[in-house]
Amino acid sequence: MDVKDAVQTKQPQFPGEVYEAPGGGFMTGALNDVINWARSNSLWPLTFGTSCCAIELMSTASAKYDYSRFGFEVVRATPRQADLIIVSGTIVNKMAPVLKRLYYQMPDPKYVIAMGACAISGGPFFYNTYSVVKGVDHVIPVDVYIPGCPPRPEALMHSLITLQEKIMSGMTRDQIRRQHNPDL
Amino acid sequence: MVEELGITAEGDQVINIGPQHPATHGVLNLVVTLNGETIKKVEPHLGFIHRSIEKMCESLSYRQFIYVTSRMDYLSSHINNHACALCVEKGLQIEVPQRGQVIRVLMDELTRIASHLLWWGAQAMDLGAFTPYFYAFRERETITTIMEETCGARLTMNYMVPGGVMVDLHPSFQQKVKEFITLIKSKIDEYDELVTGNIIFQNRMKGVGYLTAADAVSYGCTGPTARGSGVHCDVRKIYPYEVYGKLHFDEVLETEGDSFARYLVRMKEIKQSISIIDQLIDNIPDGDFQAKTKAVLKLPKGEFYQRVETARGELGVYIVSEGGTTPYRIKFRSPGFSNLSALDHMAKGGKLGDLVATMGTLDLVIPDIDR
């Protein structure tokens, strides 16, 4: 299989053209698009689970669902090596500063998925309590929200694919912030 | 230099483990005082997932508050709901129909197997083996599929209501459970071959995290943690509820008191749960699955307490009623909190690396501790 066929069959979303030429060929494409494409296919999530949703997150990582098929294989235990937080579970007032610190510790570019009702809005059950943060977007910027209590593994995988599409089109919070402030 | 590293004059160093740490199984913060590699003190700091469930329950009716408790110890959510439903039934003096009781016990035991399987995978992962995690989840998915068919949810089922269970069993329930039992019976031996008999695993687990029977009692440990030290504490045996009194099963006891003993207790409990399901699955009586109850429940004035055996130990539900539609006060006696309190005692004098092995065998679920 030559280069052109390989790119077109294996990576149909590749943002560029491949031209055949003697001795191998060459590609054209906007550098930004190629970088975004590369980033979207190598997301490294942080192992961050606070409550019930973390179990569904573990299910998604394990035998039956296996999200490494979509490029989320490398789960990191330290924020220094991760670029994606999946906030799986309730965030309470005591945990919020910790989450913020974890977010700041991650290298740029970074993305956030709010998994489950608690991370979206404080949850269907925890809206009238004194200790729960009413939505993780009060603390850190969120790119994709997944409803459910807890969401199914399929829902989580859909959100991961949605995040990939968002990154490829340059529409995540982090990317938009960067467009407006090139000095960041 | 010494000051930079945070070492005190006595040569002690204080390090933080958590709240974001894969070995704490959630958001627990352990402040560990070390001398070299030897542990001098372990101080658990709680509250990173305190959702004030007890306070919330005071504003919810007796039907509503049960759903919140699914989120407490989410790995045995059926058993949490069971405890609350039993406590409300005790107050209202409702007799649950036989069919309802048997369905409840079946669900409890399936949950127990699922919880122990997840624990087994996580424990092996804590010690550096990644394969068992996939094995455990492969079998656990079978249980979640069975649960989903009948209860409509994979993890937080909310299936038990005061008076019985919410809906009847799915028509294929019996067949699916039988298939699962055949499957898990063959897999247990595979687990034993892969992990239990593994010499590296045994060396990590044996002789660490000792807890004597007297200490287990004085710290209030229950469940497999205490039974690993030889304490007779299975609520299903001592204070039988539902149909547990009529069933034949053994209370698993190990006398060693180390991490490996607690590991063995859980592995043997899976087999006991299988035998309970074996006894019940062909003998589900016909009839109602739910007793007739009023639409609005009002508990008489008084105090009610009910305990059940979850996968982690004894869960107690204590309701104080003023006679209204909502409880005046609810207190949960969660097994994880008491088991965690023994961690300092178990880890003291050991090595830092063994702390993970010891903490894993306590099978902590942090939202159960913080509530």
pLDDT digits (tens, 9 = 90+) for A148-160: 888 988 998 899 8
Mutate to test the interface with A, among B16, B21, B27, B81 (most CBs of A within 10 A): B27
The answer, yes or no, to whether residue B1 has pLDDT greater than 50, is no
Chain B CB contacts of A56 below 8 Å = 154-155
Contact by Cβ (8 Å): B132, B117: no
| Mean pLDDT computed over B303-320 | 90
Residue A7's pLDDT is 65
In the three-class reduction of DSSP (H, G, I as helix; E, B as strand; rest coil), residue A133 is classed as coil
The candidate with the shortest Cα–Cα distance to B210, out of B279, B261, B169, is: B261
Mutate to test the interface with B, among A121, A131, A154 (most CBs of B within 10 A): A131
pTM: 0.88
Over its C-alpha atoms, chain A yields an Rg (Å, rounded) of 18
CA dihedral A127, A150, A74, A178 (to 10 degrees): -40
CA of B140 to nearest chain A CA: how many angstroms apart? 9
- Which of A62, A94, A102 shows the shortest C-beta gap to B133? A62
Structure tokens at B296: 């609005």
Mutate to test the interface with A, among B21, B50, B369 (most CBs of A within 10 A): B50
Backbone angles phi, psi at B159, to 5 degrees: -95, -30
Chain A CB contacts of B132 below 8 Å = none
In the three-class reduction of DSSP (H, G, I as helix; E, B as strand; rest coil), residue A19 is classed as strand
CA B158 to chain centre: 16
The C-alpha atoms of residue B292 and residue B298 are separated, in whole angstroms, by: 14
Q: What percent of chain B has pLDDT over 90?
A: 13
Contact B71 A129 (CB under 8 A): no
CA of A62 to nearest chain B CA: how many angstroms apart? 5
Chain B CB contacts of A54 below 8 Å = 26
Q: Which of residues 105-164 of B touch A (CB under 8 A)?
A: 118, 133-135, 137-138, 140-141, 144, 154-156
A111-115: strand order across its sheet: A45-46, A84-88, A111-115, A144-146
Given pLDDT bands bounded at 50, 70 and 90, which one contains residue A128? confident
The answer, yes or no, to whether residue A61 has pLDDT greater than 60, is yes
Least confident of A5-19, B36-50, B308-322: A5-19
Angle at Cα B219 formed by Cα B214 and Cα B224, nearest 5°?
Answer: 80
CA of B136 to nearest chain A CA: how many angstroms apart? 9
**Is the bond preceding B327 in cis, omega lying within 30 degrees of 0?**
no
The candidate with the shortest Cα–Cα distance to A139, out of A118, A159, A160, A124, is: A118
Complex ipTM, two decimals? 0.84
Given pLDDT bands bounded at 50, 70 and 90, which one contains residue A184? low
Contact A125 B71 (CB under 8 A): yes
CA dihedral B288, B292, B296, B301 (to 10 degrees): -110
Beta bridge partners of A145: A114
B210: Cβ–Cβ under 8 A, 6 or more apart, which residues?
Answer: B257, B258, B346
Backbone angles phi, psi at B291, to 5 degrees: -80, 155
Contact B155 A54 (CB under 8 A): no
The overall average pLDDT reported for chain A is 83
CA of B30 to nearest chain A CA: how many angstroms apart? 15
* Letter string b/e over residues B34-43, b meaning 16 or more CB atoms within 10 A of that residue's CB: beeeebbebe
The answer, yes or no, to whether residue A1 has pLDDT greater than 60, is no
The C-alpha atoms of residue B110 and residue B115 are separated, in whole angstroms, by: 9
Q: Alpha carbon of A90 to those of A64, B79, B161, B293: distances in Å? A: 25, 22, 25, 34
**Is the bond preceding A150 in cis, omega lying within 30 degrees of 0?**
yes
Domain B13-370 listed as CATH 1.10.645.10 = yes
The overall average pLDDT reported for chain B is 87
Domain A45-164 listed as CATH 3.40.50.12280 = yes
Structure tokens at A102: 């974890």
Instruction: State which residue of chain B sits closest to A93, comparing Cα positions.
Output: B48
First-to-last CA distance in chain A?
42
Q: What percent of chain A has pLDDT over 90?
A: 5
